[in-house]
Amino acid sequence: MRKVTLHNKTFEVFISDTEIAEIVHSISNQINNSGVKDPLFIAVMNGAFLFAADVMRKITIPNAEISFIKLSSYSGTETTGKVSELIGIEGNISGRNIVILEDIIDTGITLEKIISLLKEEEVADIKVATLLFKPDAYTKDIHIDFIGKSIPNDFVVGYGLDYDEIGRNLPHIYKLKN
């Protein structure tokens, strides 16, 4: 489907499933070659669930683990600027080498919050991998180690990303049609 309608808004294909697979392949290779030891991947739910599943299958680093956390700053197509607390970290993660897996980094508010909460857990190292990055919207100085694709400041949906909770199941990534 080249076009989809979600909550009465029309979206058109922006990044095809084939291109997504290439991006996932490339970012997984970069992580594998980064020298990170015994990584604990932390996938940010719900948006990163497909990205995390696809990346994990390509990770060849020994003793790789994954956990899932939840935190959100979005309502509709606008960021609210507010984030809730971190849910989903169980047990002691102090001293661990963390690789955050994000679907998209927009303003960076969510990322900053996650990193500050992880630092409270006294982790050894934090690296950040994101499928998509909106450089024009980013307001933080935090370095992003692995970027799948930088995109313009458009609202996108599909491959895990939602528009008010729907559209996550779409195999391609779509953008709002003007």
User: What residue ranges bind ligand IMP (CB under 6 A)?
Assistant: 44, 47, 73-74, 79, 102-111, 155-157, 161-162
The dihedral region occupied by 88, where left means phi > 0, alpha psi between -120 and 50, and beta the remainder, is left
- Rounded to the nearest whole angstrom, what is the least distance from the CB of residue 133 to Mg ion in the complex? 15
Q: Which CB atom, from 37 or from 119, has the smaller least distance to ligand IMP? A: 119
Q: Comparing C-alpha atoms, which of 172, 177, 131 is closest to residue 154?
A: 177
- Rounded to the nearest whole angstrom, what is the least distance from the CB of residue 72 to ligand IMP in the complex? 6
Q: Which CB atom, from 47 or from 108, has the smaller least distance to Mg ion? A: 47
Radius of gyration of the chain (CA): 16
Tokens for 139?
């307001």
Sequence-distant (≥ 6) Cβ neighbours of residue 8 within 8 angstroms = none
Per-residue x/- track, 41-80, Mg ion (CB under 5 A): ------x--------------------------x------
